[in-house]
Amino acid sequence: MSPRRLILVFLALTVLFLAANRAAYKGYFSDDDLDNLVQTRGAEVSYFAKELVSPKFSTWNFRPVGHAYYRLLGDTEGLRFPVYIGVLHALHLLNVVLVFLVLRRLGATQVNACAGALLFAFHMACFDAYWKPMYVFDVGCAFFVLLALLAYLNGRWLLALIPFWLAYKTKETAVALPMFLLLYEWLLGERKFKRLLPFFAVSVNFGLQAMLAPKTVESPYTFRFTGAALWTTISYYSAKVLLAPYSGLLLIPAAWWLKDRRIWLGVAGIAVLLGPLWFLPERTYAVYLYLPLIGLAIAAAFAAERISPVCIGIFFLLWIPSNYLILRKQRGVALEAAQQVRGYVQQVGGALAAHPDWKSIVYDRAPLSLHPWGVSAAYRWFQPARDFRVDPIDSAEGRRLLQEATVQTASWNPARRVLSFQQRVPGAPNPSFVDMAEGNPAWLFLDGWHAIEAGFRWMKPQASLALQRPADARSFAVRINFGPVQFQDMGRVDLELLLDGQSLGIRSYTAQGWHEQQWALPAGPAGPVQVTLRVGKPYKPSNGDPRPLGAAIVALGFKP
């Protein structure tokens, strides 16, 4: 195949890849993206340089090469999301070219090298690597690993140490590269094992520091060296390699049957390049196969030598459409999450632009895909002051902020995609009735409440809130959402109402659905009151929800 034809093949692949993933440019930042943008903004270039050359393990996972992506684009492009995706796609397509060159250097024909590169280019286990900038660490790590492989295969093993170091400084999974090089020397190389010593020295240095680093609490990043943990990761990743349960394990007997050391290198490389991820059963993500897919590309390219071109064509005629169907399914989920987060962040920016004097925010719910660090980063991007506070309503710090005379709160309605801000004005009366579908001031909710959900709010077995009793109040109403799971688990909810500590009795909810009960009010003056709700029996859901629950409150308050 002439160079011109190779260029045309690559251009065709590029067009097909970008066409299939064009909707990625309509996506938006994840919580990790926002956090990385905030954490790297303003960081000194000297700090990046210092961490780049440092032989010390970063205890807080600072990756100077990967984080430089956020530092540079954050400064120049701000929140222009398509630019981040464009850079990510360009880097991935460059990796496709490097995979092709590695395969050619290992001895694959041009056609078979193209087949292996195509398998690497479009694999839906790595959907997130094409759609989410946060996985630039994986894509960038693979870029430098491939450069190191090319240098090593061309006999420039000392030069290969430079991209290997940069690969580690992009993501720690690069520590597995020396094991892959060892496999190469044993299976295909000249068995010059001594030149691997500096590679292993780097890996052992960082690996031992990671293992010996003090750990105060257990976390998903805690290594689990147990059979159960290993089986969890084997079950998970073997199902993602060929997109069917345990299908990846079939590669082992297939490689043995074909008896080709190059295929053995590829299949073993999949396992080796996963490295420490085998022992992180609580951190299993299909996108982590991005680097190990280099091994799959190697195995595929040399297995293609044993298969007729017709069979290869049939494989890709099935593989590409099936991957595209998976892409379409994941695309809808990703775009829905992106729209929620984009709306949230834009409304945060608008509010802080209008109120630059705000010093703190207590937030009541956020888009499901935004974890607390992402919510905090969304606010801090627009308000970088060090003393600016962002805390959730159900945290101890959030509860403390709600006691201050002046406080700003933000309540997210996922159905309407509206972020409602309220500012507490000293002396202003509280409302007498609360509808959870509206953006209610967070300071009304005292102890015992979870974050707002779609039109209701779960209380704990006991919960209190502050309301204003009007002069004409004659009754108090509480409407709950008695959902099907709770109804099946409990059959009824008994709810006691207390006003300023005085019990007004118990009402029972016995039918599934949204139902209201009322309590007659004794005579009393108008003014602020503390309303307390208490369930007769705490609810432990059968669906695995670990939260302490009572009832799902839809609305409550005084009625004339």
Reported as a single tens digit per residue, the pLDDT across 198-231 is 999 999 999 888 887 776 666 777 888 899 999 9
DSSP H or E stretch at residue 284: none
* Other CB atoms within 10 A of residue 79 CB: 20
Looking at the DSSP assignment, which residues form a beta bridge with residue 88? none
Q: Residue 292: is its pLDDT beyond 90?
A: yes
DSSP-based helix, strand, coil % in the chain, nearest 5: 55, 15, 30
**Phi, psi torsion values for 146, nearest 5 degrees:** -65, -40
Sign, Cα dihedral of 8, 12, 13, 18: positive
Confidence of residue 303 (pLDDT cuts 50, 70, 90): very high
What pLDDT shows up at residue 211? 81
What pLDDT shows up at residue 221? 76
What pLDDT shows up at residue 216? 62
* Structure-token match 């690993």, residue found: 145
Q: Please, what is the average pLDDT of the chain?
A: 92
The residue ranking higher by pLDDT, 1 or 242, is 242
Q: Residue 122: is its pLDDT beyond 70?
A: yes
Overall fold of domain 431-560: Jelly Rolls (2.60.120)
Confidence of residue 306 (pLDDT cuts 50, 70, 90): confident
The mean pLDDT value for 495-508 works out to 96
Q: Show Cβ contacts of residue 473 under 8 Å, excluding neighbours closer than 6 positions.
A: 432, 521, 526, 558, 559, 560
Distance of alpha carbon 94 from its chain centroid, rounded? 25
Tens-digit pLDDT profile for residues 315-330: 889 999 999 999 999 9
Residue type, 412: W
Which of 373, 383, 557, 541 minimizes the C-alpha distance to 475? 557
Residue 210 in tokens:
């990671």
Instruction: Report CA-CA distances (Å) from 230 to 146, 203, 227, 235, 279.
Output: 27, 21, 5, 9, 6
The mean pLDDT value for 78-82 works out to 96
Half-sphere exposure in the Cβ direction for 96 (13 Å, CA): 25
Distance of alpha carbon 174 from its chain centroid, rounded? 21
Residue 218 backbone zone (phi > 0: left; psi -120 to 50: alpha; other: beta): beta
User: ∠258-261-267 over CA atoms, to 5°?
Assistant: 80
Confidence of residue 425 (pLDDT cuts 50, 70, 90): confident
What pLDDT shows up at residue 400? 87
Residue type, 36: N
Residue 308 backbone zone (phi > 0: left; psi -120 to 50: alpha; other: beta): beta
Sign, Cα dihedral of 431, 436, 439, 445: positive
Q: Residue 474: is its pLDDT beyond 90?
A: yes
Residue 461 in tokens:
């077995």
What pLDDT shows up at residue 88? 97
CA dist., res. 382 & res. 350, Å (int):
9
| All CATH 3.40.47 domain ranges in the chain, comma separated | 314-428
Residue 554 in tokens:
């839809």
Tens-digit pLDDT profile for residues 335-382: 999 999 999 999 999 999 999 989 899 998 899 899 999 999 999 999
Give the per-residue SS3 of 53-99.
HCCCCCCCCCCHHHHHHHHHHHHHHCCCHHHHHHHHHHHHHHHHHHH
For 163-209, the DSSP string reads HHHHHHTT-GGGGGHHHHHHHHHHHTS---GGGGHHHHHHHHHHHHH
Hey, what's the torsion of the CAs at 533, 537, 538, 544, to 10 degrees? -140
| All CATH 2.60.120.260 domain ranges in the chain, comma separated | 431-560
Instruction: Report CA-CA distances (Å) from 73 to 27, 141, 228.
Output: 17, 18, 42
Q: Residue 42: is its pLDDT beyond 90?
A: no
Rounded percentage of the chain residues whose pLDDT exceeds 70: 99
Q: Show Cβ contacts of residue 412 under 8 Å, excluding neighbours closer than 6 positions.
A: 344, 363, 364, 365, 366, 367, 418, 419, 420, 452
First-to-last alpha carbon distance for the chain, in angstroms, is: 85
Q: Show Cβ contacts of residue 47 under 8 Å, excluding neighbours closer than 6 positions.
A: none
Tell me 549's DSSP state: B
Tell me 218's DSSP state: -
CA dist., res. 8 & res. 1, Å (int):
11
What pLDDT shows up at residue 402? 82
Hey, what's the torsion of the CAs at 125, 126, 131, 133, to 10 degrees? 140
CATH code reported for the domain at 314-428: 3.40.47
Q: What is the pTM of this model?
A: 0.88
Lowest mean pLDDT among 74-78, 466-470, 510-514, 540-544: 540-544
CA dist., res. 233 & res. 239, Å (int):
10
3-state secondary structure of 25: helix
* Other CB atoms within 10 A of residue 187 CB: 15
Distance of alpha carbon 129 from its chain centroid, rounded? 12
CA dist., res. 345 & res. 375, Å (int):
9
What pLDDT shows up at residue 128? 96
